[in-house]
Amino acid sequence: MKKALIIGAGGVGAVVAHKCAQIPEVFGEIMLTSRTKARCDAVAAQLPRRIHTAGVNADNVPELVMLMKSFKPDIAINVALPYQDLHIMDACLECGVDYLDTANYEPPDEAKFEYKWQWAYREKFREKGLTALLGSGFDPGVTNVFCAYAMKHHFDEIHELDIIDCNAGDHGLPFATNFNPEINIREVTARGRYWEHGEWAETDPLSWSMVFDFPGGIGKKKCYLMYHEELESLTLNLKGLKRARFWMTFSDSYLNHLKILENTGMTRIDPVDYEGRKIVPLRFLKSLLPDPASLGPLTRGKTCIGCLIKGIKDGKTRACYIYNICDHQECWREVKSQAISYTTGVPAMIGARLILSGPWKKPGVWNMEEMDPDPFMLALNKHGLPWVERFEE
């Protein structure tokens, strides 16, 4: 029986706490922490068994180290914000604790995410015999595992990859983001980027789109090309890849609101003077927008996230589409959350489970596609995210 320290008690952290609490034979003791302890206590009150809670500022490494030394976790599940990644990795190294996150490091003052900062920790984790698993959410996360599974079982070479993320849910509010508003808006307003013929090409933000016919009764939706972090590791780890792109659906209402917010300067991340003090407009905007955790009871409809993969098997071309469909209201019934937090929190729990129970315990810093996909794919079916695969020869 192992001990898990969950850091972050927002939409995703609440799902991780629920899902870990369902498996006492692996997660013997759980501590849920966040900057605001009251958020942890509110989640703990919904769970079927007792867990520990604590307030911690994960940007303060000595404070984290003190907490880890007293609770002695086997793993830290980081579902706070990407800004905390390196601090939590430092504390894990100091205390001998395995590490997992769902989003790669991003400096607060520059909207730029990259793996280089976390990949620089490879030697340190290897030397200490500790595992750090990066990006164990849905995308990144399950999408990387879908690729590894396709490579292992269905292809000799993968040539084209399109990761397609559709949230066909509706919360009925004029504008809300389904995960942390600050991180979401930084990601969506960034320039588009995709991989073609061995190099990166850029597009203006949300300037390319396509229509995709989604399964599960969702139907045709417009999807926009974006840069997404799993493309960085997949283009290195899937040898022979000629093209890789990431697409996401947005409603017209979301895009119109976003355009106006951008045009008025509300999405800026540099500090501006306001009545004698400095404020960051995007952080101020975040404080006004709905908390993603509050969207659970409001959201109806489904998500469909999957990988459309084309390549060669036994000398013949083939295409394979692997996807999951998740229903917002079913998630609400099970763990009091909407599907975006659910589809992120369940893979975080599964990644932690596979590290704690052995199959994915491997010293070093790893992206998901570097691990054996089979136990993860089995666990997805078991823990609420069943997947489907469809072939075209």
Does residue number 351 form part of the binding site for ligand NDP (CB under 6 A)?
no
Which of 2, 4, 6, 8 forms a contact with ligand NDP (CB under 6 A)? 8
User: CB 79 → ligand NDP: shortest distance, Å?
Assistant: 5
Two tokens at 384?
Answer: 């609420």
User: CB 393 → ligand NDP: shortest distance, Å?
Assistant: 31
Which of 56, 150, 308, 352 forms a contact with ligand NDP (CB under 6 A)? 56
User: CB 318 → ligand NDP: shortest distance, Å?
Assistant: 27
Unique residue bearing structure tokens 């695969």: 389
Q: Where are the beta strands (DSSP E) in the chain?
A: 2-7, 27-34, 52-55, 75-78, 98-101, 131-134, 157-167, 192-196, 199-203, 209-214, 219-226, 243-249, 272-274, 277-279, 302-313, 316-327, 364-367, 387-392
Does residue number 137 form part of the binding site for ligand NDP (CB under 6 A)?
yes
In this chain, which stretch among 135-143, 191-199, 202-210, 242-250 interacts with ligand NDP, using CB under 6 A? 135-143
C-alpha span between 311 and 155 (Å, rounded): 6
Cβ-based nearer residue to ligand NDP, 92 or 311? 92
What are the percentages of helix, strand and coil residues in the chain, rounded to 5? 35, 30, 35
User: CB 313 → ligand NDP: shortest distance, Å?
Assistant: 29
Q: Which residue is nearest to ligand NDP (CB)?
A: 10
Residue 293: which of 385, 168, 178, 169 has the closest Cα? 178
Q: Using an 8 Å Cβ cutoff, are 340 and 326 in contact?
A: no
DSSP annotation of 170 reads: B
Two tokens at 152?
Answer: 């292992």
Does residue number 165 form part of the binding site for ligand NDP (CB under 6 A)?
no
In this chain, which stretch among 134-142, 147-155, 357-365, 384-392 interacts with ligand NDP, using CB under 6 A? 134-142
Site residues for ligand NDP per CB under 6 A: 7-13, 34-36, 39, 56-59, 79-82, 84, 102-103, 135, 137-141, 179-180, 183, 292-293, 340-341, 344
